[in-house]
Amino acid sequence: GNDANNILDGGAGVDILIGGLGDDNYILDLKLSGTGPSATVVIDDTVTELNGTSNGIDTVKLRGTANLATATTLTLDNEWANIEILDVSATGSTKLNLTGNDLGNTLIGNAAVNTLTGGTGNDILNGGVGADNMTGGDGDDIYIVDNIADQVIENDGEGTDEVRASVSYTLSNNLEKLTLTGTAAINGIGNGDANIITGNTGNNILDGKGGIDTLIGGKGNDTYIIDDEDDIVTELANEGIDLVKASVSYTLSDNVENLTLTDGSANGGNAAINGTGNALNNIITGNAGHNILDGGAGVDKLIGGNGDDTYIVDLTRTGTAPANYKVSLQDTITETAVAGSGTDTVQLRLLSGTDYAAMNNATTLTLGANLENLDASATGTTKLNLTGNALANTLTGNDANNILDGGAGNDILIGGKGNDTLKGGLGADVFKWNADDFDTSLSNSTDTIADFSISQGDQLDLRDLLIDESNIENYIDIFFDSVSGATQIRISSSGTFTGGTYNPSEEDARIVLSNTNLFTATGQGSEAQLIGYLTDNSHMLIG
């Protein structure tokens, strides 16, 4: 040859092929030597290739077939010592094994079961269609896998190695990377190392197993199996509808649509883990444990399981002007109605950049089926009213003037700040206050209970307000206002109704029980008797 990239083919006969400085291809013929079980193949042609990095990347291609009982091993040594690529793909099912040298080799097998051994360089091993055994050795090696029975062997500390598979494949030990090729719907599974697993254009299942893995789906509707919170999922826009199945708490990365919580078992598991979405319209599904499901931005579907689940839901504002502004749940919640499905909570959240203060009128939000609790405490002064369902609900208002209506069931109503109206409805209801619910101004700290009932077993929970039971008369003053027909409980949260004497300047909160005379309802004649009756019979709970 000359200094260009030559193809040298001696044809029949015993040939001498001498390359030059280019990337040369030598075409050599297989010949059978011997007979029976001891038969081998030999190469009569001679190749001369000079040593040195300036002499190109050179290839020996073998052709012809032979029927061998045992495989012959061909090694890139001696006169082939300066050859980088050995290709026996044109030798049919001839039993051949290939061994590289210290260069960066490419070894290409045939249709037989080949054993390929790379050596110390950065090698590419391609066994062909048979069930091949490939050992890379030192260096950063690449293995081409096209048969699920292909075996790849790497020892610890032998570089960063990659399998490129056109079939479903599981990485063996000490392999770091797996790349799926072609368009077929195949799957890639890692090992205990920190793997990088890349899908093809089909629908792939990618599972890194142990280690902190990076999973790259590509096109297609891909499924990612996540077992470490630090696992990384990479998807580009418009690359299919993708699903993460996570046995740990997980937040969806960009361009991934759906998240299902598991614990690695077939039934979804019951680990108490959480799922968080992204800016897309996500479907987030919990497991049988206690989950917090947060769709993030977007119009999301949140699906709970049997645990005590918390759904974090965004409020979106509709309408064209303050007079008709309303809010509604941006996300959809699905909770099953089976026994043991848990006590579930909807937590409302405001969307960043939305002006809720411009609303003239309050919007009433009603708990959906099979949900127990509705919490608006994180919505500031947004004008909201909350309504429960037939279950035992806990309704928590915000800093505005709320109307809370528990409906049927034994409900807990927490108005929060503002002048709230509380309706327990049927059942033995609890009306609860926290110390930070009241403003320093009485004008913003008067709550009204519309239907307090001794006979139904209703309770006033003042434990966070009244902390010294032995001097309760210093904290509350109860009287019946005959004009309004309401019982009023006037409160000094600092306990400064000294000696039980009401002092208007020390009152910082008031609870009004509409259409209720507690003295008559309990048969008590004095305030002290009434307080004793209420506390002794758990109608008023104090600290």
> Residue 54: what pLDDT?
65
* Averaged confidence pLDDT in the chain: 93
Q: Report pLDDT digits (tens) over 108-142.
A: 999 999 999 998 999 999 999 999 999 999 999 99
> Residue 515: what pLDDT?
96
Range of lowest pLDDT (157-166, 263-272, 416-425): 263-272
pLDDT confidence tier of residue 53, bands split at 50, 70 and 90: low
**Percentage of residues in the chain having pLDDT higher than 90:** 79
Nearest to 58 by CA among 80, 90, 89, 28: 80
Residue 48 has pLDDT above 90, yes or no: no
Which amino acid, one-letter code, is at 438?
F
Q: Report pLDDT digits (tens) over 438-478.
A: 876 777 789 999 999 999 999 999 998 877 667 888 999 99
Q: Is the dihedral of CA 367, 373, 379, 382 positive or negative?
A: positive
For residues 299-306, give the mean pLDDT. Answer: 94
Residue 258 has pLDDT above 90, yes or no: yes
Residue 223 has pLDDT above 80, yes or no: yes
Nearest to 429 by CA among 416, 412, 415: 412
For residues 212-237, give the mean pLDDT. Answer: 97
For residues 230-257, give the mean pLDDT. Answer: 97
Contact between residue 296 and residue 313 where contact means Cβ atoms under 8 Å apart = no
> Residue 340: what pLDDT?
64
Residue 204 has pLDDT above 60, yes or no: yes
Q: How many C-beta atoms surround the C-beta of residue 496 within 10 A?
A: 13
Rounded CA gap, 270 and 292, in Å? 13
Residue 218 has pLDDT above 60, yes or no: yes
Rounded CA gap, 465 and 371, in Å? 29
Q: Report pLDDT digits (tens) over 72-89.
A: 999 999 889 899 999 999
Rounded CA gap, 310 and 291, in Å? 6
Question: DSSP of 177-244, one letter per residue?
Answer: EEEE-SSS--EEE--SS--EEE--SS--EEE--SS--EEE--SS--EEEE-STT-EEE--TTS---EE
Contact between residue 73 and residue 100 where contact means Cβ atoms under 8 Å apart = no
Q: Report pLDDT digits (tens) over 394-419.
A: 999 999 999 999 999 999 999 999 99
Instruction: Tell me the whole-structure pTM to 2 decimals.
Output: 0.90
Highest mean pLDDT among 333-337, 357-361, 523-527: 523-527
Residue 267 has pLDDT above 60, yes or no: no
Contact between residue 215 and residue 194 where contact means Cβ atoms under 8 Å apart = no
- Name the residue with tokens 């609860």: 432
Burial 67-83 (b: 16+ CB within 10 A, else e): ebeebbebebeeebebb
Whole-number Cα distances in Å, 460 to 430, 431, 449: 6, 5, 10
Residue 338 has pLDDT above 80, yes or no: no
Q: Report pLDDT digits (tens) over 372-392.
A: 999 999 999 999 999 999 999
pLDDT confidence tier of residue 493, bands split at 50, 70 and 90: confident
Contact between residue 449 and residue 507 where contact means Cβ atoms under 8 Å apart = no
Rounded CA gap, 112 and 92, in Å? 7
Burial 396-411 (b: 16+ CB within 10 A, else e): bbbbbbbbbbbbebbb
> Residue 469: what pLDDT?
63
Residue 266 has pLDDT above 60, yes or no: no
For residues 184-189, give the mean pLDDT. Answer: 98
Rounded CA gap, 354 and 218, in Å? 35
Of the chain, the end-to-end C-alpha distance in Å amounts to 99
The length of the chain is 543
